[in-house]
Amino acid sequence: MVDITAPIKAARDRADAWSWDRSVAAIRSFADHNGLTLDWDQGAGEAWARLIDAGRPVALLWTRIPFGFVDPRAIELKRVLRQAAIEFVELPDFDEPILRLDIRDVEPVVDASRWPDAVVPARLSASDLWWATV
């Protein structure tokens, strides 16, 4: 299991000094220059953006705090995320339920009271967290 509590706490604690707007400009530029699609509906208030490469997500980025998940093979993208001061966890498979999250330590960023019963903080995938908080 990969405990994602500490990186989410670190991102939450830095969120006031961080700007998604500035970060997304760099991420959008990177996506445009590398043939990736930035999938994010800002107008709908989506809390996550996805970077898609050839139909497959290579990054899930939380827009409310500087945190995300990234495919470990996306070396240049990881550099961009570091420059944008985004905490990230490397995962080769966003659907594999290998993550653990202590909800009490990451409130109010994560409100598990609104999660469907199928999402279990002791064993979840990045996609589970994305769907539960999008």
User: What residues of the chain score a pLDDT lower than 50?
Assistant: none
Q: What is the pLDDT of residue 116?
A: 62
CB 94 within 8 A of CB 57: yes
d(CA 108, CA 106): 6
For residue 112, what pLDDT is reported?
66
Q: What is the pLDDT of residue 36?
A: 95
pTM here is 0.91
Q: What is the pLDDT, as a whole number, of residue 43? A: 87
Supply the pLDDT for residue 104. 82
